[in-house]
Structure formats: structure tokens, C-alpha cells
Structure 1
Amino acid sequence: MTSPLEIISAALRRERTRAGLTLSELAKRAGVAKSTLSQLESGSGNPSVETLWALGLALGVPFSRLVEQRAPQIRVVRAGETMLIRSEHSPFAAAMISACPSGARRDLHLIEAQPGNARRAEGHLPGTVEHLLITAGRLRAGPEEAQVELAPGDYASFAGDVPHTYEALEPDTTAVLLMEHV
């Protein structure tokens, strides 16, 4: 079993690294001594509630993220277990693989497409970027004025906040689409 100090130590290191802060920067922002923070991260400190609240605030995370043990998780979505949602106007279907969890800014989709009419998408939320990785077949995709042809293993990213298209160039084209919402 992991001790509370080990949980706090690991959480502080993880969140400080995620925030891209040095020990000195975090200590200054939180108003705690650098030596105190160093002890906490090494698992030898004895934090007060006030210190942990100040560190959580400086890191932009809730108090609970610093004191709760994170259970190792793996989520598996087996092929064929997703619900494909089909386009009305083109031989295109997408399945949500992973929805954007609270606080995150991305959605993950699996795309299946057949040759025929191109799937035209209006622009999404401002700042959206689409990341596309082709797994089988060939696909033409991108903003209407800057489309590219992609083959298996090819990756492209493009602005998703402008009109864009997806068009299968071979039967049974599949791709992974990550929509990043800024």
C-alpha cells in the first residue's frame, strides 16, 4: 500500500512537471519555502493543509489531485465495439473512441470511408486542430484550399475551424482522427 506522503510526493512531482515549473518557481508562486517543497517531493516532508492548498492553487489543480491515489487505468475499445455514425451525404462514418474528459481538450475518433462523395465539414470551434493518421487505404483531406493525399502511416494536421473535407480514394479507408480543441 502506498503511504499518504508517497502519494503527495508523486502528485507534486507529476503536477509540477506537467505545469513546466521548477522547484523554485512553484515555491515562489505558492509562497512556500523551496526546501519545504523539496522535502515534500522527496517524500520526507510533513505538509499542512494550508501548504497543499497553496501548492494546488499555484499548480492550477484541485486539492484532491495532490492527495488522492491515482489508480492505474487502462481503457480498451475493441474493434467492432463502437457505434459508427454515418454521413447522410457521403460514404463516411465515424466512431467516437474517447470523448474529451472534463478539463481536457481533445476527442478521438475512428473514421471509415469509401470512395464516392467527399465528406464536407463546416469549421468547428475556433482554434480547433485536427490530427489525422491513416491506417488503411488512401484519403484526401484538409481545408478545402489545401487538401493533401494520405496513405497508410501518413499523418497530417490542419485547422479544423475552417471548412474541410475527407474523401476516400480507395475502398475500406480507415483513419484515426484526434480533434484538439484549443
Structure 2
Amino acid sequence: MASRIGAAVHAHRTAAGMSLSELARRADVAKSGLSQLESGRGNPGVETVWALATALGVPFSALIDPTEPEETLVRAGEGEATRADAATYAAVVLSHSPAGVRRDLYRIDAEPSPARVSDPHAGGTVEHVVVVTGRARVGRTEDPVELGAGDYLRYPGDVPHLFEALEPGTSAVLVSQQV
């Protein structure tokens, strides 16, 4: 997965006409780490990938998931997970944005641990979460909402926000949409 992410970052950075130094500055990551990532030697956490996607103005999935075929089956427990550095939180891309659409669909698997706090995504991003199992605190960092299985929340993703599992085995479906 690291080499795929590195190649995608390089391709999007080059297409944007952005230098390695400029992307590192915009994403607030070390230039040396970015260079290693682009060469396929890095192992970025979900926070780094989000920061790079935001700085490049592309959906998160554009950096971690290749173009998907017309039909895709991802069974429970399958899929390549991108893990958070500071929380027991993993995101699996179920469906990324096809051309002309700016939304991604994820399965979130999380355990009680410090909250997964996300920096603001690109302007106009809206996130939709449905908790499938367990309980979680979700939403804007200054006013998160506790959700149980079956509960849905829509909140702005272009402000700091969080996901915190409150019970073991918490899972959710998240749609990130840029409007």
C-alpha cells in the first residue's frame, strides 16, 4: 500500500505543478518524510494521508485506492485498512469518488482509545456517519454527539472533528462529500 500511496501523491503533486517543498509545507509534514513516501519507502498514518489529500485538493481515497471496477465486493473484515497514529481507529475505503463525483465511502473500525481528531478537510466537505455497532462520540470537536447503533449524524468536515469509540467493537459507515 505504501508504494501505491507514494505513487499517487507524486502523480497528484506533479499534476498540480507543486514542488515537494511546497506540498510538505502545505501538509505540515517533513520534506524528508514526503520524499521517502513518494519513493515507496514510507508508511504514513491516516493523519498524514488526510493532510496530503487536503493540501493537494483531492479526496483521501485518491491517494490510497486505485480506480475501482464497475462491481466491487468488500466483505466484513476485508479491505486494506489505513490506521490512525494516535487512536485505535482504522478506515477502509469501500468506494472512492469516480470522475466528476466528490464523495468517498468508508468503513470505520474503532476501539475505545483517545479520540481520532481530524484536521479540517477541503472547504465544503460534509461528513455523514452511521454507527453500525457499538457507540461513538462523533462530530465537530467543540460539540461532538454520542451515537449508538443505527444513529446517523451529518456534520461539517471542513472544521476540526473527531470520532471516538466508546465501546469495544465499534464500527460505522462514513461518507465524506465535497460540495
TM-score range, shorter chain: 0.5 to 0.7
The equivalent position to 2:150 in structure 1, one of 145, 153, 156, is: 153
> Which residue in 2 is equivalent to 1:79?
76
Which 5+ residue runs of structure 2 have no aligned equivalent?
A: 1-69
Runs of 4+ off more than 6 Å: none
1:126 positional shift: 0.2
User: Is 2:105 the counterpart of 1:108?
Assistant: yes
Query: Partner letter of residue 88 of structure 1?
Result: D
Query: Partner letter of residue 144 of structure 1?
Result: T
Which 5+ residue runs of structure 1 have no aligned equivalent?
A: 1-72
1:160 positional shift: 0.1
Identity across the alignment (%) = 47
Query: 1:1-150 maps to which residues of 2 (within 5 A)?
Result: 74-150=71-147
> Which residue in 2 is equivalent to 1:44?
none
Counterpart-to-counterpart distance in 2, 1:97 and 1:145: 29
Query: Partner letter of residue 111 of structure 1?
Result: I
Query: Partner letter of residue 125 of structure 2?
Result: T
The equivalent position to 1:174 in structure 2, one of 146, 171, 175, is: 171
Q: String of CA shifts for 1:44-87, please: whole Å, max 9, x gaps.
A: xxxxxxxxxxxxxxxxxxxxxxxxxxxxx643222222011111
> Which residue in 2 is equivalent to 1:54?
none
Q: Matched residue of 1:81: which SS?
A: coil
Question: What TM-score do you get using the length of structure 2 for normalisation?
Answer: 0.60
Q: Matched residue of 1:167: which SS?
A: strand
Q: Matched residue of 1:175: which SS?
A: strand
Counterpart-to-counterpart distance in 1, 2:168 and 2:147: 14
1:95 positional shift: 0.5
Counterpart-to-counterpart distance in 2, 1:80 and 1:170: 18
Q: String of CA shifts for 1:116-162, please: whole Å, max 9, x gaps.
A: 11101000010000000000000001101121000000000000000
Counterpart-to-counterpart distance in 1, 2:154 and 2:79: 24
- Rg larger for: 1
Counterpart-to-counterpart distance in 2, 1:75 and 1:98: 8
CA RMSD of aligned residues (A): 1.0
Q: String of CA shifts for 1:91-114, please: whole Å, max 9, x gaps.
A: 111101101111011000000111
The equivalent position to 1:162 in structure 2, one of 140, 159, 166, is: 159
